[in-house]
Chain A
Amino acid sequence: GDSVTQMEGPVTLSEEAFLTINCTYTATGYPSLFWYVQYPGEGLQLLLKATKADDKGSNKGFEATYRKETTSFHLEKGSVQVSDSAVYFCALSPYSGGGADGLTFGKGTHLIIQP
């Protein structure tokens, strides 16, 4: 079945550091890929998405590129802030012929940014 693997952390960085959170996936066909962020005590917010190979998703300074050859969707940000502290989930949605389906999530990466 489909699966998503991501570094679990916690990942601790200083403010203004460069961030990379690795995400690789296993899926048949051509899934869509997402990064979601969850702040303490809240639901999940969609951070960015990519629906086909070589697409780059970007939002709030975060970027991720859909790499089919390496089955990866790594999250990057050039300069992190304390407010970026949260749990980040990589997820995929299979293209299963058109019907709605659940997301397959990675285990989540807890990011801690220190001032």
Chain B
Amino acid sequence: DTEVTQTPKHLVMGMTNKKSLKCEQHMGHRAMYWYKQKAKKPPELMFVYSYEKLSINESVPSRFSPECPNSSLLNLHLHALQPEDSALYLCASSQGLAYNEQFFGPGTRLTVL
């Protein structure tokens, strides 16, 4: 299994809602990532988990809260988002070393109303 899966595929939420994005991989990878991608832009790193511990937080607002329940799962909890947070949220995984390739999921298209 060489796949990273993400759910849901699409999500529409109001600014007062609480929702979660989910990501799963079964490749035995020990590093997992959240990226945010706006239209016609490259992905921007948000968070890195290495061996289930948060190792990088790129100064992301606290309305985004990551969680890594185990080595295969990665969640992104959303609360009180703003319309400018609308974007494609991509999850990726890698073996855990900096020079390894990262494998991306299909993304969750988030719209904040």
Contact = CB atoms under 8 A, between A and B. Distances in A.
Given A99-B55, A102-B45, A102-B58, A43 B104 contact: yes
Interface stretch (A11-19, A45-53, A69-77): A45-53
From B30, B42, B56, B97, name the one whose CB has the most chain A CB atoms within 10 angstroms.
B42
| Dominant SS among interface residues on chain A | loop
Interface residues of A, number: 28
A98 B97 CA distance: 5
Nearest to B96: A100
Nearest to A51: B99
Contact of A102 (B4, B56, B104): B56
Contact of A108 (B42, B50, B97): B42
Nearest to B102: A103
Given A42-B106, A43-B106, A32 B45 contact: no
Given A105-B42, A107-B41, A107-B42, A43 B105 contact: yes
Nearest to A97: B98
A108 B50 CA distance: 27
A32 B99 CA distance: 5
A78 B42 CA distance: 26
Contacts of B42: 89, 105-108
Interface string B29-46: 011010100001111010
A68 to B, nearest CB: 14
Interface of B: 4, 6, 30-31, 33, 35, 40-43, 45, 48-50, 55-56, 58, 90, 92, 94, 96-107
